[in-house]
Amino acid sequence: MNDAKNMTKYSLRSWVLVLALAPTILVGILLGGYFTINRFYELEDTLIEQASNIIEPLAIASEVGLESKDFETTKRLITSAQLNKASLVQFIAIFDANNRVVITSHHYKNHEVMRFDKPLDSMLRTELEQVGDSMILRSPIFKSSNIPVQDLDRDPQANPDIAKIGYIAILINKENALLQQHRAAVAAFIIVLIGVQLNLFFTFRLLKNVTQPITDMVRVVAKIREGKLDTRLTGNLIGELDLLKRGINAMAGSLSEYHDEMQQNIDQATSDLRETLEQIEIQNVELDMAKKRAQEASRIKSEFLANMSHELRTPLNGVIGFAKQLLKTPLHSSQQDYIRTIERSATNLLSIINDILDFSKLEAGKMVLENIPFSLRETIEETVTMLSSSAREKELALVIDVDARIPEDVSGDAMRFSQIITNLVGNAIKFTDKGSVQLKLQLEEVKDGKVHIRCEIIDTGIGVDEQQQSSLFQAFGQADSSISRRFGGTGLGLVITKRLVNRMGGQIGCYSEPNQGSTFWFSLPLNISQYSINDTLPLSTLEGKSIMLFEPNGLTQHAIERMLLRWGLKVTIAKNIKQLEFVLTQSNHVFDFGLMSCRAVTTTSQPANALKLAKSKIDYLLLISDCIEQEDVFSQIRPYIDKQLSMPVGEKLLSSSLLDPHSSVLNDNLIALTPLSAPIKQENLSVLAVDDNPANLKLIDTLLKELVTQVQVADTGELAVKLAKERSYDLIFMDIQMPGTDGITATKQIRANSANRNTPIIAVTAHAIAEERERITSSGMDGYLPKPIDEAALKGVITRWKTKPKFTHFEQRTLNWELCLTQANNKPDLALDMLKMLLKSLPETVEHIELALSNSDNDKMLASIHKLHGASCYCGVPTTQSLCQEIESSLKRGVSVEDVEPEILELLDELTKVESAANQVISQLSVDI
């Protein structure tokens, strides 16, 4: 497969050139090399043979002169031989038996190179030695008188016993031989080159007659593929190429005919399509009507939900409210039990209504998620603390374990995050009879200004089998839906949780085994907040201090131990009462702190003695309230306890308790099982309450009279407007849905012309959908109190608004302090800091916007507006935020600065108003806050 792909990278011309030239060049090189090398060896052998033919006769002829000492004759002999072969022989020398030079053909400066460097006896025949571009031949000179008569016809060199009287050496010049070798190599190269040229000639002829027609065919096929079906191949081709040409022309003709036929079919289909257009238009009309009916049904559904929310919550408001009020009156035990049952049943019914409404909002896509800063650990601890009483009733260990690497300050929808935790932890407690429920948060990654966390809720409950797990996240689905099921519920909790997690950009899942417990997990991205929500505690002061931890439960012990070690404390652990007594009695060390489990202490035979012993060795003793204490036992151990912490033990409460153990605020956490009902201090306020329902009006009147000094009620909107014109109130609670003049209309009339133009008006309504809340906020009301009315929530509203500043010089749409508080998680100091940061940045922002406007610079304008938009999301400036969003969206769509100039000028005017309003708010609130 890969070979086929590689072949398509090269053209046919390239392949023909390679396949035609490569074998010729290779064979030519091999043959030329072979014959050249063979010629070299032939010339070498011929040279040696010529030298041998010279030296061997001279060796025989020199024997007489060397034996008779007739050196002159011998010299003429070798000189004549050297001169006769001057082009071949450079120098001749004769050496005697003692290896001394006797005779030379002529003077030679380096005759020592001619000397034989081995014993003369080892020279048996003519020997050859290569020296650079020359070679030396040496032949022994034998004494002929010592040769036996029978050996005269034999080679004397073959008999080693014949005496040697010397040897002759000849220096042979190899230049002529080398020249002939080079000529042979050049000739071979020329022959190979000529062969290659001939091959090229024939190859190009082949390319012209074969590959060029094929290239033309490829070009014609490409044109046919482009739709030029009238293209044809012309000319006379050879062999099969001519057959291929005819085949391509025939194929083009067939395609042309098919194209014409297809065009006719298309025309016929177009005609048929035109005939069906009327039917499609009719269907479109029907679909449009169906869409309108669906929208109308959705509107009716929303109205139905709003009305049902109001109609269901209104009577529940009276049931729950008066049940709580009735509990404050003297009742015997059975009556108190009945009232508590009524209250719990009504609260459960309210929870079911809330689940149905949440599910409906998620189904319709109406769920609006907020993005406000909040404290992650504080939110988790507050949420789980609300569920701790259920865990204590079932004697379950409820443990919070948060990864230390997770940042504390994040931004997102804190309420929905708390709802997710509540649903999952509440389910875990509900389906667990014994053991523990652990909430574990781990850091997955920090990327692009977001922290990705993974939360696991691990329980030791009944578990869920694999078949039932598939229905857990389905609406109205439950693992056990039979009539004999143990656990109730609507089956909406998990599906709401799943959709909330998905809307927030996360994932959720579960793995479980029957009777082995379950683990529900979800991963969620949260924005890292630029603002610090909580003050940083000086945890460094705890480093080196000692603490005794007495907690038998492993999960709780490990979670608390990790917190304490992270803060730098020296932790000593006792897992049972014997270990505790051993450590306390055997050690003279006094611990700075002691943290002990109430369950472990009260299960001993004498809890008071154990705590008395612990108190003698511990400076400050804290008790973890993880069980339902009995009054007789608690009265015994109370004198030895400095503080009592509720389970689960959160980081904030534990760290605050250790840093400031004697704080009066924290000492109030010491729980008494029979609290005395202290009288509620009334606020010196005048409050107007408006509601058309007599039961609700009576309830809010009763609740308000316990909290404020003056309360006046009105059962219609007209009466409320009339009373608002006659006198001034500190606070007005306004019902929304009333016959005649509703709450919104009454609010507008009060704001337009009355003595309460700037009085805080709080909407009291049973409507729970997002559109209704937005309509209430935009109508001029300052706050929102949902029905059924909770006494604590009502008290919180009064506390928040009793000192509301009277802002009279700007509109609420320019700067809404209540919205600013909401966006700052109801923290006045944080809201004021964010407002100051916005005010400080306004001059520079205005300068950048004006500069970008004058230069028509889209990029700089988009950057400035984007930065301002981000800052306005946390400062309660709805008009500025709306204008920034509109301008930013237009610029991102490619609209020029000139086209959005009116909106930019409006924004600059609005920023001037915001600056004036912010200065007024900051100057008025800085001292108070």
Give domain 14-146+160-180's CATH number out of 3.60.20.10, 3.30.450.220, 3.30.70.1450, 2.40.30.10. 3.30.450.220
Strand order from edge to edge, sheet including 708-714 = 708-714, 683-690, 731-735, 761-765, 783-786
Tokens standing for residue 282 = 């009719």
pLDDT, position 626: 67
Long-range contacts of 776-784 (CB under 8 A, 24+ apart): 776/736, 776/744, 777/819, 779/744, 779/747, 779/748, 780/747, 780/748, 780/751, 780/812, 781/734, 781/744, 781/747, 782/818, 783/818
CA of 374: how far to CAs of 137, 486, 872, in Å?
107, 37, 17
pLDDT, position 804: 57
Tokens standing for residue 779 = 């109508």
Question: What whole-number distance in Å separates Cα of residue 520 and Cα of residue 244?
Answer: 71
Segment holding 495, helix H or strand E: helix 493-503
At the top level of CATH, which class does the domain 683-803 belong to? alpha beta
pLDDT, position 667: 41
For the chain, state the CA radius of gyration: 54
Question: What whole-number distance in Å separates Cα of residue 688 and Cα of residue 701?
Answer: 9
Burial tier of 475 (Cβ tally within 10 Å: 0-12, 13-18, 19+): middle
CB contact burial 568-605 (16+ within 10 A = b; e otherwise): ebebbbbeebeebbebbeeeeeebbbbbbbbbbbbeee
Tokens standing for residue 868 = 């301002």
pLDDT, position 156: 52
Q: Where does the chain hold its CATH 3.40.50.2300 domain(s)?
A: 541-659, 683-803
Contact 533, 825 (CB under 8 A): yes
**What residues contact residue 924 under an 8 Å CB cut-off, 6+ apart?**
805, 807
Contact 429, 399 (CB under 8 A): no
Whole-model pTM? 0.52
Q: Where does the chain hold its CATH 3.30.565.10 domain(s)?
A: 372-534
| Cis? peptide before 648, omega within 30° of 0 | yes
Question: What whole-number distance in Å separates Cα of residue 68 and Cα of residue 73?
Answer: 10
| DSSP-assigned letter for residue 232 | -
pLDDT, position 773: 62
Question: What whole-number distance in Å separates Cα of residue 689 and Cα of residue 387?
Answer: 33
Tokens standing for residue 543 = 């480093």
At the top level of CATH, which class does the domain 541-659 belong to? alpha beta
User: First vs last Cα of the chain: how many Å apart?
Assistant: 78
Contact 144, 61 (CB under 8 A): no
pLDDT, position 455: 94
Quick one: CATH architecture of 372-534? 2-Layer Sandwich (3.30)
From the list 367, 365, 450, 368, the residue with the least C-alpha distance to 407 is 450
At the top level of CATH, which class does the domain 817-926 belong to? mainly alpha
From the list 877, 871, 880, the residue with the least C-alpha distance to 918 is 877
pLDDT, position 72: 84
Residue 651 three-state SS? helix
* Series of mean pLDDT values for 10-residue runs along the chain (929 residues): 51 72 82 83 83 86 82 84 82 85 78 80 83 83 62 50 81 81 84 83 75 78 80 75 80 82 86 85 86 78 64 70 74 71 71 68 68 84 83 84 87 85 88 88 88 92 76 57 43 78 88 86 87 69 86 84 87 84 80 84 74 83 72 70 81 81 46 44 86 82 87 90 89 86 86 80 70 65 76 80 61 76 72 83 89 88 87 82 88 87 88 84 61
Q: Where does the chain hold its CATH 3.30.450.220 domain(s)?
A: 14-146+160-180
Burial tier of 556 (Cβ tally within 10 Å: 0-12, 13-18, 19+): buried
From the list 303, 395, 380, 312, the residue with the least C-alpha distance to 786 is 312
Question: What whole-number distance in Å separates Cα of residue 177 and Cα of residue 163?
Answer: 36
Q: Where does the chain hold its CATH 1.20.120.160 domain(s)?
A: 817-926
